[in-house]
A = this chain, B = another copy of it.
Amino acid sequence: MPHAIALKRNPAGASPFPAICAPLVGRTAAKLLEEVAAVAAKKPDILEWRVDFFEGIADAPAVAELAGRLKQLAGGIPILFTRRSSREGGEPISLTEDRVVGLYRSVCESGHVDLVDFEMGNDAGHVREVREFSRAAGIQLVLSFHDFQRTPPVESIVERFAQAQELGADVAKVAVMPQSMGDVLTLLAATLQASDRSRIPIISMSMGPLGGVTRVGGWTFGSAMTFAVGESSSAPGQMPIEDVAAGVAMLRRALGR
């Protein structure tokens, strides 16, 4: 059965199913502080700080401190900290992968975030390391996979979810690009299979214009979280948070939940 995302460090304990997550993509501290206040006012369930957009990413102690200020302004909304690699659709950054891991360690040790997203395609040693220090800090680890070009077959997607679970993830995430509505069905079928089998919450989406239906209705097939735009999108196909919240609510009414 599908699992909701548990938030060990958060008083609420578990996020709703599905959680609506809005990204923060400011390039400067000033911009991020404005952005977090504006986006938190729209009441997402989770805020994702996409730190690869942040110009000051190279200064790990400053990033950790800024995470604390974002947390203060987030009004209790949990924060997911994410460096998306340029290989998987993120912004190019100047840090070595060793320094990225150091950045994650600083942020986890600061205790200012609730979840971190790390790509399962990263170096296996790094994945183990991030798993260890995030667990030690009581922070949930999302292990993720993205394909901005295409949608792999159902079995490959299901295998990605299983791989994340084997690597010790608290949450497994797969985001893929459809080239047709058939690809959207593939992603939904994989979501249904994986959420039936998985011991952990899974997150999935078809990106781009074709995938809109998965951002609103993917949770009915087992996806525990959907990304929606507060102020700025962080990936193609994200819809406004007001739209996604309304769409989720109407499907919930239809389901009588």
Please list the residues of chain A having a beta carbon within 8 angstroms of any beta carbon in chain B: 181-182, 184-185, 188-189, 192, 209-210, 212-213, 215-217, 220-222, 237, 239, 243, 246-247, 250-251, 253-256
A28 shortest CB reach to chain B, Å? 29
Contact A185 B182 (CB under 8 A): no
A212 partner, pick from B209, B237, B254, beta carbons under 8 A: B254
Residues of B contacting A188 with CB < 8 Å?
185, 188
- List the 5 shortest-distance A-B pairs measured between CB atoms, nearest first: A212-B254, A213-B217, A243-B250, A209-B255, A212-B251
| CB proximity of A63 to chain B, nearest CB, Å | 33
Q: Tell me the dominant secondary structure on chain A's binding face.
A: helix
Q: Complex Cα distance A209/B257, Å? A: 10
CA distance A212 to B249 in the complex (A): 11
Docked-complex contact A216 and B185, CB < 8 angstroms: no
How many angstroms between the C-alpha atoms of A189 and B180 in the bound complex?
12
B251 touches A250 (CB 8 A): no
CA–CA, A212 and B255, complex, Å:
7
When distances are taken between beta carbons in the complex, the residues of chain B under 8 Å from A210 are: 220, 255
CB <8 Å contact, A251 and B213: yes
